[in-house]
């Protein structure tokens, strides 16, 4: 494929790990964008807006690169549950999710100023929890300190024992929908390669 620098506009080690898993070498440059409070727009739109803001901030500085932005939120009965602010907030969030089914939404943005790429989308996964007692919740929080995770849990760690059912992409719950992303990434790279081979106004 065309040799284009790829930048992940996220400090999430899990997202970097997942991109490494599909052999997509990238540079990590966190955007520094503060996550705005939800102002009433649909959750899908909110997640995409955050992902786009992250990607756009880095794309302005690195216009020759393909920049990937992502933001993951948890939605329970129309309430958006983000990252916990502290131990008590993490407990409150996990208590709300206990015994219920929630939706994990990851907004994605793939941008490149040089190649006129602007692709924004989202992926949804339904996750059902078993009932979790208070002592198990506190034990999990104190052991794994999930303060950087939307919904206060990591599906890839010990919390997996409380997952009853998943409908949709597993990796989306980790914060990066690999299959949906790769399909779009491959399409974007193919278009860029075709444009490079057949530039507008180029010589025959």
| pLDDT tens, position by position, 40-90 | 889 999 999 999 999 999 999 999 999 999 999 999 998 999 899 999 999
Global confidence as pTM: 0.91
6-197 under CATH 3.30.565.10, yes or no? no
Query: Domain-by-domain residue ranges, the chain?
Result: 6-197
Q: Is 157 a catalytic residue?
A: no
Q: Which among 71, 119, 142, 157 is annotated as catalytic?
A: 71
| Three-state secondary-structure class, residue 140 | helix
Q: Residue 150, Cα to own-chain centre: how many angstroms?
A: 10
What is the C-alpha to C-alpha distance for residues 163 and 16, in angstroms, rounded to an integer? Answer: 24
Q: What is the pLDDT of residues 7-47, one digit of tens each?
A: 999 989 999 999 999 999 899 999 988 766 677 889 999 99
Whole-number Cα distances in Å, 158 to 116, 137, 143: 42, 11, 9
Q: What is the pLDDT of residues 122-157, one digit of tens each?
A: 999 999 999 999 999 999 999 999 999 999 999 999
pLDDT at 32: 85
pLDDT at 37: 67
Write down the mean pLDDT value for the chain: 93
């Amino acid at each position: 494929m065309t040799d284009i620098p790829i930048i992940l506009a996220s400090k999430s080690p899990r997202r970097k790990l997942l991109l490494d898993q599909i052999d997509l070498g990238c540079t990590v440059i966190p955007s520094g964008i503060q996550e705005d409070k939800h102002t009433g727009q649909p959750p899908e739109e909110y997640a995409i807006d955050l992902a786009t803001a992250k990607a756009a901030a880095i794309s302005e500085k690195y216009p020759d690169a393909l920049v990937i932005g992502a933001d993951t939120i948890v939605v329970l009965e129309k309430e958006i549950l983000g990252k916990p602010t502290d131990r008590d907030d993490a407990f409150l969030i996990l208590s709300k999710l206990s015994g219920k089914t929630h939706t994990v939404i990851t907004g994605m943005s793939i941008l490149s100023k040089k190649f006129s790429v602007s692709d924004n989308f989202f992926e949804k996964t339904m996750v059902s929890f078993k009932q979790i007692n208070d002592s198990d919740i506190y034990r999990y929080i104190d052991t794994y300190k999930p303060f950087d995770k939307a919904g206060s849990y990591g599906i890839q760690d010990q919390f997996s024992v409380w997952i009853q059912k998943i409908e949709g992409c597993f990796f989306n719950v980790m914060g990066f929908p690999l299959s949906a992303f790769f399909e779009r990434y491959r399409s974007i790279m193919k278009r860029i390669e075709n444009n490079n081979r057949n530039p507008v106004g180029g010589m025959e």
